[in-house]
Amino acid sequence: GDSVTQMEGPVTLSEEAFLTINCTYTATGYPSLFWYVQYPGEGLQLLLKATKADDKGSNKGFEATYRKETTSFHLEKGSVQVSDSAVYFCALSTKLQFGAGTQVVVTP
């Protein structure tokens, strides 16, 4: 069945460092792809999404490109801030479930 594989955390990095969180997927059709973010003590919220191949989603300095040839949707940010410390979830539109997410810790 459809699934996503996301790198495990925690990912610890310094402020202004470059962040990449890998996400690959397996799907039989053409799902939409999402990145959600969960800040401490809060629920998940949509960070960005892409609905078809080669689409790039972007928000708050984060970007991810829907790569059908590599079945990937990696999340990137060029210069992270302490406020980006959160858990990040990659998700498929065809799945009701979420994985464990990747915890990101940004230190000053």
Binding site for another protein (CB under 8 A): 29-32, 34, 36, 42-46, 49, 51, 89, 92-101
CB of 79 to another protein, least distance (A): 26
Nearer to another protein, 28 or 70 (CB): 28
CB atoms within 10 A of CB 17: 14
Nearer to another protein, 69 or 96 (CB): 96
Nearer to another protein, 17 or 67 (CB): 67
Helix (H, G, I), strand (E, B) or coil at 4: strand
DSSP for 12-51, please give it.
EEETT--EEE-EEEE-SS---EEEEEE-TTS-EEEEEEE-
CB of 81 to another protein, least distance (A): 23
Nearer to another protein, 11 or 17 (CB): 11
C-beta separation of 45 from 36 below 8 A? yes
CB of 14 to another protein, least distance (A): 25
CB of 18 to another protein, least distance (A): 25
Please state, in angstroms and rounded to a whole number, the distance separating the CA atoms of residues 34 and 94.
11
